[in-house]
Amino acid sequence: MCLILFSYKSHKKYKLILAANRDEFYERPTMPMQWWENKDGVLAGIDQDKHGTWMGANTNGKFAALTNYRKMPITEQFDSSRGFLVSEFLASDISREEYMAKLRDCSASYDGYNLLFGDIHNIAYFSNKGSETAELEPGTYGLSNHLLNTPWPKVVAGKSRLQEIIEKEDVDTNALFQMMENTDFGQDADLPDTGVGLELERLLSAAFIKSPNYGTRCSTLLLIDWNNNVTLEERSHVPKALNKFNFTIA
């Protein structure tokens, strides 16, 4: 994922309202969100290149979502796939606290990343590129390709729009998808310098990215209400598809 916006324990109906975009090369082989055959109770997309995933949930109440940390040039190559961190948490019995300790121990084995992971009680955040590790408090958050709540233009604009949406008693999922499909670029003065050059920084500053060979592959919503009913809805943009799943946490 390259943009995650979420409201945590701040809505009357939902304990978690999360919207995320996955940005990737169009040619990278991908399977849409589905129940994994070899991992009982895991619901996620599949990166067919590395066999991990970028976001998912399970029927026991766990969820996880990942963004890469962008800083060029890349000076080191890693054999470990960051998508494995999501699938490992979802498919195992490891607790949130135990997984945080494991992430700290193996942080040097992966290229830069941010990981949100949690259960029906709490959400944790970890980055191997910063000192920030936290059990999150109720609030509205944004995460792109830097640290949590770094004020990149699409994070600032997205958090503001999400706050407007959740002020209503009924959450409009179409409004959430529209929020994630915003193609407006940030102002040059507000763009980060991650080493990719100004032209690419402009392109990547939009919530929804479009280019000839790279862009937003899918937008995903995860809603968990206070009765532990889960809605996971994915709009795949390349290729076009819509998948929606509803279940109650065991």
User: Structural domain tally of the chain?
Assistant: 1
Mean pLDDT, all residues of the chain: 96
pLDDT-derived band at 20 (thresholds 50, 70, 90) equals very high
Q: Which of 245, 241, 248 is nearest to 43 (CA)?
A: 245
Cα-to-chain-centroid distance, residue 80: 19
Please answer whether residues 51 and 250 qualify as being in contact, where contact means their C-beta atoms are separated by less than 8 angstroms: no
Domain that holds residue 89: 3-248
> pLDDT digits over 111-166, tens only?
999 999 999 999 999 999 987 678 999 999 999 999 999 999 999 999 999 999 99
- Over pLDDT 90: what percentage of the chain? 92
Instruction: Please give the average per-residue pLDDT across 23-41, as a whole number.
Output: 95
- Over pLDDT 70: what percentage of the chain? 100
Q: Is the pTM of this model over 0.85?
A: yes
Least confident of 31-35, 127-131, 137-141, 245-249: 127-131
We report the CATH number of the domain holding residue 201 as 3.60.60.10
> pLDDT digits over 191-228, tens only?
999 999 999 999 999 999 999 999 999 999 999 999 99
> What pLDDT sits at residue 113?
97
pLDDT-derived band at 76 (thresholds 50, 70, 90) equals confident
Q: What angle do CA 77, 63, 209 make, to 5 degrees?
A: 60
Least confident of 72-81, 140-149, 192-201, 235-244: 72-81
Instruction: Please give the average per-residue pLDDT across 67-74, as a whole number.
Output: 93
Strands in 53-167 per DSSP E: 55-58, 63-68, 113-118, 123-127, 133-135, 139-143
> What pLDDT sits at residue 132?
66
